[in-house]
Amino acid sequence: MFARLVGESFIRSPRRKLLAVAAVTVGMAVATATLSMALDVGDRLAREFRSFGANLLVTPQSDTLPLEIGGVDYRPIDEGSYLKESDLGKLKTIFWRHNIIGFTPFLDVPSRISDGKSVIEVTVIGTWYQHSVAVPDGTAFKTGAAVTHPWWTVQGSWFAEGSNECVIGERLAARLFPAQSAIGQTIELDSAQKIAGSIANARNSPVLLLVTGVLSSGDAEDDAILVPLGIAQAMSGHGGEYRRLFVSALTKPEDSFSQRDPSRMSPVEYDRWYCSPYISSIGRQIQEVLPGTEGRPIRRVAETEGRVLTRVSTLLWLVTLAALAAAALAIAATSAASILERRAEVGLMKALGATNVVVGGIFLAEQVLLAVTGGAAGFLLGTGLSRVLGESVFGIPANLRMSLLPIILALAVFVAVVGSIVPLRRAALLEPAPILRGE
């Protein structure tokens, strides 16, 4: 009998019912789209932020006090500690190895070059542009400055691995070759041994390099010469070694938990921290596979990521709440109109002995059916909307998440219940005698 009453009630006033379903559909569609985006926004924005470059700097833990200006190390080549190039493949064996999307070693070597009138002190930076690294599991990982420093632009071409080629910074190129293009020119550099006179294994003869490109970095590299890492190692006498490592990793924005001291965490808290892709936990895992190192977040990158991601996520959640609130108001309006329209029926049912629970159950069941119908339609519409938004914002359609369907249906039912509270309370206060008398 109850199901029959609910069914007959559901098919009455089809215009009002369609309006309610449409309102719930729109609300649930927006909620589906924003929830889909919110679930994906972390990974998608993290990948977008990698265009900012590396977000983690790894250096020797026992190194001497660095003398850096504009990111270039000006310490004498025979001072400080060095790291082994052969260990770099171990970075792809950590717990969050798939979040390591690139790393590039750097070795700064002081040198001298003549501009025809005077001798100029320059810094030679040994690095990789595109380099294949052997991983202990037998695979290879391609990385280099093309991944960790994507904003660097080169007029001409980058040097080839294993060649006597170089890329020269644009400010240094303008100083050395003011009247002609630097590309195709040959430059001669003094070795580190000739400058320091204290490194037995350093190359003593001058180094001849062919300029293949002019670098524009917007930083100190514009006054330097970039060469394949092997050349810098030979010039410095530190074969197979480097001094700085830039790592680009997909990370979770920092919060108060990530900034706590791991040594003071309980075992459960430590496992949670270690198994979360915070920049600090990834740095700790890098230190474990590269003993004697220290991983420091590059704050200007990491903090920018955290702020932007937090604001975008907050905006998406606010839009979701607004959509749910709008759907609840639509349900409330429909329920209130239905109760006012059927006051006579309510009075008659109460006169025949129906309790407030039975009367309220009929109206609530009607709103729940409307909500489920609108929720299912809203999920389908929202899935399509999320794909369009993902394509327009990130260039990649959002993933289809069927796990959201029961969540959206549950939210629709919750919205129906919340929106019906006030109208149902009003129905419970109706007295049958005045209604039946037409008052």
Per-residue pLDDT reduced to its tens digit, 244-255: 999 998 887 777
Does 59 lie in the same domain as 41? no
The pLDDT, as a whole number, for residue 344 is 66
Residues 122-142: pLDDT tens digits? 999 999 999 999 999 899 999
Has residue 241 got a pLDDT over 70? yes
* Residue 189 pLDDT class (50, 70, 90 cuts): confident
Does 207 lie in the same domain as 63? yes
Cβ atoms of 75 and 60 closer than 8 Å = no
Does 128 lie in the same domain as 192? yes
DSSP assignment string, 20-47: HHHHHHHHHHHHHHHHHHHHHHHHHHHH
The pLDDT, as a whole number, for residue 80 is 61
Element (H, E) at 293: strand 293-297
Note whether residue 88 is domain-resident. yes
Residues 52-70: pLDDT tens digits? 678 899 999 865 445 555 4
- Residue 226's nearest CA partner among 201, 189, 194 is 189
Residues 312-359: pLDDT tens digits? 777 777 888 888 888 888 777 777 777 666 666 666 666 666 666 666
Question: Which domain covers residue 341, as residue numbers?
Answer: 2-45+308-436
DSSP tally for the chain: helices H, then strands E: 13, 16
Note whether residue 315 is domain-resident. yes
Q: How far apart are CA 141 and CA 88, in angstroms?
A: 10
- Give how many domains the chain has, as a whole number: 2
Does 71 lie in the same domain as 105? yes
The pLDDT, as a whole number, for residue 278 is 87
Mean pLDDT of 367-389: 85
The pLDDT, as a whole number, for residue 314 is 79
Query: To the nearest whole percent, how much of the chain has pLDDT over 90?
Result: 28
Comparing 333 with 236, the larger pLDDT belongs to 236
Beta-carbon contacts of residue 25 (< 8 Å; ≥ 6 apart): 374, 375, 377, 378, 381
The pLDDT, as a whole number, for residue 233 is 92
Q: How far apart are CA 108 and CA 35, in angstroms?
A: 47
Does 265 lie in the same domain as 193? yes
Mean pLDDT of 153-171: 93
Has residue 121 got a pLDDT over 50? yes
Note whether residue 50 is domain-resident. no
Cβ atoms of 62 and 104 closer than 8 Å = no
The pLDDT, as a whole number, for residue 437 is 55
Has residue 280 got a pLDDT over 60? yes
DSSP assignment string, 308-364: HHHHHHHHHHHHHHHHHHHHHHHHHHHHHHHHHHTHHHHHHHHHTT--HHHHHHHHH
Does 345 lie in the same domain as 198? no
Does 21 lie in the same domain as 68? no
The pLDDT, as a whole number, for residue 89 is 94
Note whether residue 146 is domain-resident. yes
Mean pLDDT of 391-405: 73
Among 297, 321, 355, residue at a domain's last position? 297
Q: How far apart are CA 247 and CA 95, in angstroms?
A: 15
Does 137 lie in the same domain as 278? yes
Q: How far apart are CA 383 and CA 379, in angstroms?
A: 6
Average pLDDT of the chain to the nearest whole number? 79
Has residue 165 got a pLDDT over 60? yes
Note whether residue 303 is domain-resident. no
Find the range with the poorest average confidence among 27-31, 35-39, 43-47, 169-173: 43-47
Among 251, 269, 297, residue at a domain's last position? 297
pTM: predicted TM-score of the whole model, two decimal places = 0.65
Has residue 36 got a pLDDT over 90? no
User: What is the SS3 assignment for 276?
Assistant: coil
Per-range mean pLDDT, top range of 235-239, 360-364, 391-395, 421-425: 235-239
For the chain, percent helix, then strand, then coil, each to nearest 5? 55, 20, 30
Does 343 lie in the same domain as 290? no
Does 181 lie in the same domain as 92? yes
Per-range mean pLDDT, top range of 17-21, 120-124, 191-195: 120-124
Does 333 lie in the same domain as 206? no
Does 318 lie in the same domain as 184? no
Mean pLDDT of 350-373: 72
The pLDDT, as a whole number, for residue 144 is 94
Note whether residue 302 is domain-resident. no
Residues 103-118: pLDDT tens digits? 999 999 988 887 667 7
Among 297, 321, 338, residue at a domain's last position? 297
Cβ atoms of 99 and 250 closer than 8 Å = yes
Mean pLDDT of 254-260: 81
Mean pLDDT of 270-279: 90
Has residue 302 got a pLDDT over 60? no
Has residue 199 got a pLDDT over 50? no
Kindly provide the residue ranges of all beta strands, DSSP E only, lying in 52-205, ordered along the sequence: 56-60, 68-69, 72-73, 83-84, 100-114, 119-127, 131-134, 140-143, 153-156, 165-169, 186-189
Beta-carbon contacts of residue 223 (< 8 Å; ≥ 6 apart): 122, 123, 169, 171, 172
The pLDDT, as a whole number, for residue 228 is 95
Q: Is 335 left (phi over 0), alpha (psi -120 to 50) or beta?
A: alpha
